[in-house]
Structure 1
Amino acid sequence: MTPTDDAARADLAHPQSAYRVLPYDPQAPPPDLPAGHGGIAVHAWCPPAAERHTLAPMVGVDGEPATYGWGHALIVVPAGERLVEVQYIEPQQSTMVTVEEGAIVLVEYAASYDAVTPGSLGAPGQRPRGTPMPLPAAIAAAMGVASLGCLAAQLPFILLGDHLMLALVLGPVVGVGAGALFLVRWRRRALRGRR
């Protein structure tokens, strides 16, 4: 199941949700809400380039868990000012919304491309932050480090004869250096592309 497959995750209610959570279809007519209540329609999504390493977010309202996962959900809350937070292990982003009685406020969360940058939370139209690292680039860097590290075990027999410790240290150092150089060059190229 991909994180963007709304049909597969129709029920996003957090097991400890303090609020009523309903499936939400932005194209369908809004559901009837109880008197004195409004709704926060949350759309949490992840860019395809980040699906392999991004955890599903927990969305909370006023410090209480409400939803968990990717997709659309409607959180039924009492009318008034509400703090909407997105978190993984710790809070990542938060925004204040005003919920009118009988109205629905739209909130969108776009996960970031990388695991370091927090995602974007706010009105619909949010874009992922960070820089996507193409999967082939990540695989190439890991393979470079691993292959040069393995080569270190053979270097004493091939090149250095009696200098076993130097060969065992030299292989991983060169491998890590090559991987780091590759990642630095990739990052610079990605930053130049954004200008």
Structure 2
Amino acid sequence: MRKTIFDDTRSGVDSAYLSGVGLLILGDANDRGSLEIGTFYMPKLFVREVEGNYLSQSTELLHITLGYRYWPTSYFSASLSFYSAYTIGSPSTDFSSLRPDQTQSTSAEDITEYGFDLSLMFQLWNSGSWGAMLEGRYSQSVTSKTGESANDYSGMIGIHYLLQAKRTKPGTIE
């Protein structure tokens, strides 16, 4: 579930909860940290205010992250990632109160968006290689346009499978 963060009441636009699919791949860096690569296919809403008027556009995105995940315990972790998001298809205009002489657009019409993701993950269940997880994620765009709301938060429930080399002695891998 994903939701763009902005004041619904001022713009008259409702930021609905949207759903998508994703894949996270973690690779151990040490006993408390892992590198994280994530790919998410999802819809996203962009809302921009221009001189008191509003424009809302939505599009489908391929959101790719690369970052580091820290595990203070075996069941809880936090991640900081850089992301790039790529527009798939053409954006649609969901709402516009712009005057005819206002020709502004939102980042939905850009090919690429960049930013940072901060996430917190909790392992709900773990049984060896298999488990279930719950994650909350906040995305902060660094390429949003003036007056635009492009930051969002999301929640995920997922199943994980651990692929890991077996270590018999320090420094050796089977």
Q: TM-score range by the shorter chain?
A: under 0.3
Q: Which has the higher strand share?
A: 2
Q: Which TM-score applies when normalising by structure 2?
A: 0.26
Q: Which has the higher helix share?
A: 1
Q: Which TM-score applies when normalising by structure 1?
A: 0.24
